[in-house]
Amino acid sequence: MRLDKFICKSTTLELAQAKLAISQHQVQVNQQTATDAAMQVHENNHIELLGERLFARPSQYFMIHKPAGCICSNKDEAYPSVFNAVGLNPNEQLHIAGRLDADTTGLVLATDDGRWSFDITRPEQRCPKIYKVTLAKPITHNAIEQLERGLVLQGEAKATLPAMVNTLSATEVELSIYEGKFHQVKRMFAATGNRIKALHRQQIAEIVLDIAPGEWRALNQSEIDCFSST
C-alpha cells in the first residue's frame, strides 16, 4: 500500500493532507523520515505521524446492486457515480473491483483492499463472472461454440479464455467468463454477429447478488474469504 493511503486508512486525514504531512517530514517509517508519498509500506512496518504510531483500520468490502445510468467511479462525470447513485459514501479509499458499463446492471464489488481487488480482476485467479445476457437475435449453435472455444476480439491479438454458455431461451443466455477486458461481453457477442440488448452481472466467484437495485450491503466474512480459494 502507498504510504499516503496508509496514513488516510489509519487517521482522519484526507489524501492531500497525508501528502502534505509527508512533505513536511512529519512521517517516519521504521525510524527513518519518509519523503515519498508513493513508497510502498506494509501493516508490519513501524509507521509514525508526529511521533504517534499508526495502525490501519480494517479493510471494508461491499456489494452494490448497480442500476443502469451510472458509472463505476468515485465521482460524477457524464453519468452519476455508482456510489452517489446508491447512497454509499465512497471516501478516498474505496474503489470498484471489476467495473461495469453505464448501461449494464448488477453486481459490483467495492473495497479499500487493493490486494483483494487485484485477485478478483486478474485472469490467472480463475474468478468467474456470471452475466445474464439478453440478445437482439436468437443465439446460434455456432456462436455458442465460438464463445466456449474462445474468439479473437477486434483490436486484440489473443483469443478470449473459453467461456461457459447456459441457454435460457432463444435470446437469453447465462455467460460465465474469467476476464474483464474493455466492453468484453458486448464485443464477444458482436464478434458472433449478434448484439446485446441488456446485460446484467449476477455473480462473481461465490458472491451472488441478493439485494434490490440501488441497494448496497457489507460482505460477510465467507464472501470476503472466497477469493483466496478461487
Task: Give the catalytic positions in this structure.
Answer: 101
CA separation for the pair 195, 151 (Å, rounded): 16
User: CA of 83: how far to CAs of 92, 111, 204, 221, in Å?
Assistant: 12, 12, 19, 22
Task: Find the helix packing angle between 15-23 and 3-10, rounded to 10°.
Answer: 120
Position 115: which residue type? R
